Amino acid sequence: MKKVFDPRSKWFDKVNVWLDLGFQGAETDYGGKSTIHLPHKRPRKSKKNPDAKLTAAQEKHNRRHAQTRVPVEHAIGGMKIFHCLMHRIRNHLDSIIDSLFWIPAGLWNLKIS
């Protein structure tokens, strides 16, 4: 993520970012400028804690987090059916690359509306 979005840039200033557990270090890199929302990770099973579970509040938080993220993930998957987002783009014009994203997004929004 640091390669695409430099932590020193103003990309994440005053933005709510909803991430999954694959971005564990994002709070330390981007947390000062924006609000990073991560789900809670289930604790590891051990001899001291053989029944490792999340608390009720953590489960509620994870459920709310998923309710926010799942529609976004479904929209991304729905846009991928147009295949222009799935293949390598061998073009160097930014206007065409942007169109290859905005056209499927508009078509997907038309389909779900």
Which three-class secondary structure string do you get for the chain? CCCCCCCCCCCCCCCEEECCHHHCCHHHHHCCCCEEECCCCCCCCCCCCCCCCCCHHHHHHHHHHHHHHHHHHHHHHHHHHHCCCCCCCCCCCHHHHHHHHHHHHHHHHHHHC
Q: Is the pLDDT of residue 64 over 80?
A: yes
pLDDT at 12 over 80: no
Each residue of 15-53: pLDDT tens digit?
888 888 888 888 888 777 778 888 998 888 888 888 888
User: Is residue 58 very low, low, confident or very high in pLDDT (cuts 50, 70, 90)?
Assistant: very high
Full-model pTM = 0.65
